[in-house]
């Protein structure tokens, strides 16, 4: 596989202007944030990379955006700057930072107990609602999407008696060792620089490109794969990668025919609609996982399963020891949050607002792309928008296309220095029920200005 992840300047952009803008915006960021700089210096003495999670250092600003508080769909930093937050913690804050229905529910629950281990009425309400909304009969609670994926994959192995999993190239499903792999000319290879904790991914994992049904057929034919794990629309490959017409039907047909379970990871694709892609695309998986946004800010993950998998899960604990879960999973605080999200926030009305603003934002970018005839495109999935530096949307995430770290950093910094914060990892924008139209318009104005400064 050739790969131009190292290419820094996409077509249409002037390299010298980009360098000058980066230098200027980095300096402006630091100069305007003395308290953030001081806190980062302190943090360097007690945190890896000076950030609470070491990978956060990969985000664009030279010192982290150091938040004093978050309200609505806005961040307020310790140096007195406000930002319209279009990153929304990568969907974990998709409903905004203080949605009144979620805040009221969580405040009330804090006075009634946060972690109890015994079930309550909310657990039943939530699992019934998940069953009706997403179509799978049985649901369990976890602490994160990572956990949900680990548990779901393990149950797939227990259900089928098979060892391997299959994933799509360059998908991300959390800190799940079997997925720390990438497809290269040598076949499945450990992800560079990532330790898979003793798991030999060459033995545990098969990988094919998204939208490649022929390769899928070939890899599933031997009947040794427990489950295919898939984002229904890929969001983690630097662009929004949609399924070809017929891809999901083919994926389901081949998995059924070969006795392979299908796990749909809905963690990042929920901006597609209130029933996620499972409902939007009419999917019929055996397992569904989700996390991040599910409890409105309280850590939680969920995994749903078919009767067949549920029977295997029941067998898993029949000898008394072990079991999949965490003491903190299904705590009443998290479950109350999930109920508030499902009952009061994830409605058609909420999604109409999110999608309307996402349309407006996408139109703004498309106009700028057209004005300057840039060979770029805008990727959309309901309330998620991201642009990529290629004229056509890619069909898979292994396909070479310019990621351009330098341009992404420059755009992020230019916008953030002027009060707009995009997702730190990908530059994507998400739209919450609390996102304001004026912030979308401000973004579009600034985007037009920065591109005018950068084009050849």
Ligand X SMILES: Cc1ncc(COP(=O)(O)O)c(C=O)c1O
> Where in 71-100 is the site for ligand X (CB under 6 A)?
90
C-alpha 240/C-alpha 268 separation (Å) is 11
Q: SS3 helix, strand, coil % of the chain, rounded to 5?
A: 40, 15, 40
User: Of 59-67, 131-139, 264-272, 403-411, which part binds ligand X (CB under 6 A)?
Assistant: 264-272
- For ligand X, give the closer residue by CB, 36 or 269: 269
- For ligand X, give the closer residue by CB, 64 or 276: 276
The nearest distance, CB 272 to ligand X, in angstroms, is 13
From start to end of 127-169, where are the E strands?
Answer: 138-142, 164-168
The nearest distance, CB 21 to ligand X, in angstroms, is 29
Nearest to 227 by CA among 307, 156, 324, 145: 156
The nearest distance, CB 269 to ligand X, in angstroms, is 8
From start to end of 86-192, where are the E strands?
Answer: 138-142, 164-168, 181-184, 187-190
- For ligand X, give the closer residue by CB, 141 or 172: 172
> Where in 270-299 is the site for ligand X (CB under 6 A)?
291-292
Number of helices (H), then strands (E), belonging to the chain: the values are 14, 16
The nearest distance, CB 212 to ligand X, in angstroms, is 19
Cβ-based neighbours of 255, under 8 Å, separated by 6 or more: 220, 228, 261, 262
The nearest distance, CB 75 to ligand X, in angstroms, is 19
- For ligand X, give the closer residue by CB, 25 or 209: 209
- Quick check: 390 binds ligand X (CB under 6 A)? no
Task: Residue 189: count other Cβ atoms within 10 Å of its Cβ.
Answer: 14
Among 8, 169, 255, 267, binds ligand X (CB under 6 A): 267
User: Of 99-107, 140-148, 194-202, 393-401, which part binds ligand X (CB under 6 A)?
Assistant: 140-148
x/- letters, 208..247, toward ligand X (CB under 6 A): -----------------------x----x-----------
Among 77, 209, 212, 265, binds ligand X (CB under 6 A): 265
**How many residues bind ligand X, per CB under 6 A?**
15
C-alpha 209/C-alpha 390 separation (Å) is 18
C-alpha 148/C-alpha 129 separation (Å) is 18
- For ligand X, give the closer residue by CB, 109 or 236: 236
The nearest distance, CB 49 to ligand X, in angstroms, is 17
Among 29, 172, 389, 431, binds ligand X (CB under 6 A): 172
- For ligand X, give the closer residue by CB, 145 or 386: 145
Cβ-based neighbours of 221, under 8 Å, separated by 6 or more: 258
Helical segments of 161-230, H only: 201-204, 213-220
Instruction: Output the DSSP codes for 357-425.
Output: HHHHHHHHHHHHHHHTT-S-EEEEETTEEEEESSSS--SSSSS-----HHHHHHHHHHHHTTTEE--TT
The nearest distance, CB 266 to ligand X, in angstroms, is 8
Give residues in contact with ligand X (CB under 6 A).
Answer: 90, 144-146, 149, 172-174, 231, 236, 265, 267-268, 291-292
């Amino acid at each position: 596989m050739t790969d131009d992840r190292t290419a820094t300047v996409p077509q249409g952009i002037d390299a010298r202007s980009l360098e000058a803008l980066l230098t200027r915006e980095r300096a402006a960021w630091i100069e305007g944030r003395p308290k953030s700089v001081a806190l980062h210096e302190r943090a360097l003495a007690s945190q890896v990379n000076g950030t609470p999670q070491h990978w956060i250092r990969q985000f664009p600003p030279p010192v982290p955006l150091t938040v004093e508080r978050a309200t609505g769909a806005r961040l307020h930093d310790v140096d007195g700057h406000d930002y319209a937050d279009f990153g929304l913690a990568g969907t974990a804050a998709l409903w905004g930072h203080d949605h009144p229905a979620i805040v009221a529910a969580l405040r009330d629950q804090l006075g009634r107990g946060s972690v109890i281990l015994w079930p309550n009425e909310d657990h039943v309400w939530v699992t019934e609602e998940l069953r009706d909304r997403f179509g799978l009969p049985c649901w369990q609670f976890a602490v994160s999407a990572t956990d949900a994926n680990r548990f779901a994959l393990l149950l797939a192995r227990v259900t089928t008696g098979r060892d391997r999993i299959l994933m799509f190239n360059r998908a991300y499903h959390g800190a799940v060792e079997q997925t720390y792999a990438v497809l290269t000319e040598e076949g499945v290879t450990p992800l560079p620089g990532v330790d898979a904790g003793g798991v030999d991914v060459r033995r545990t994992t098969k990988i094919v490109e998204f939208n490649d049904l022929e390769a899928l057929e070939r890899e599933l034919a031997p009947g040794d794969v427990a489950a295919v794990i898939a984002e229904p629309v890929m969001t983690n490959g630097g662009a929004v990668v949609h399924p070809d017409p017929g891809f999901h039907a083919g994926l389901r047909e081949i998995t059924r025919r070969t006795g392979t379970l299908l796990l749909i990871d809905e963690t990042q694709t929920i901006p597609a609609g209130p029933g996620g892609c499972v409902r939007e695309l009419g999917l019929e998986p055996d397992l569904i996982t989700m996390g991040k946004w599910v409890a409105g800010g309280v850590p939680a993950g969920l995994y749903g399963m078919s009767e067949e998998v549920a029977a295997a899960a029941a067998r898993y604990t029949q000898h008394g020891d072990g079991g999949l879960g965490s003491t903190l999973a299904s705590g009443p605080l998290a479950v109350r949050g999930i109920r508030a999200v499902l009952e009061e926030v994830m409605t058609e009305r909420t999604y109409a607002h999110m999608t309307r603003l996402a349309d407006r934002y996408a139109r703004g970018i498309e106009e700028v792309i057209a004005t300057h005839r840039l060979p770029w495109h805008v990727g959309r999935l309901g309330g998620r928008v991201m642009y990529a530096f290629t004229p056509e949307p890619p069909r898979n995430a292994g396909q070479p296309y310019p990621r351009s770290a330098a341009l992404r950093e420059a755009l992020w910094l230019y916008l953030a220095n002027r009060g707009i914060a995009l997702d730190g990892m990908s530059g994507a924008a998400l739209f919450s029920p609390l996102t304001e139209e004026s912030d979308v318009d401000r973004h579009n104005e600034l985007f037009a200005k920065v591109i005018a400064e950068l084009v050849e």
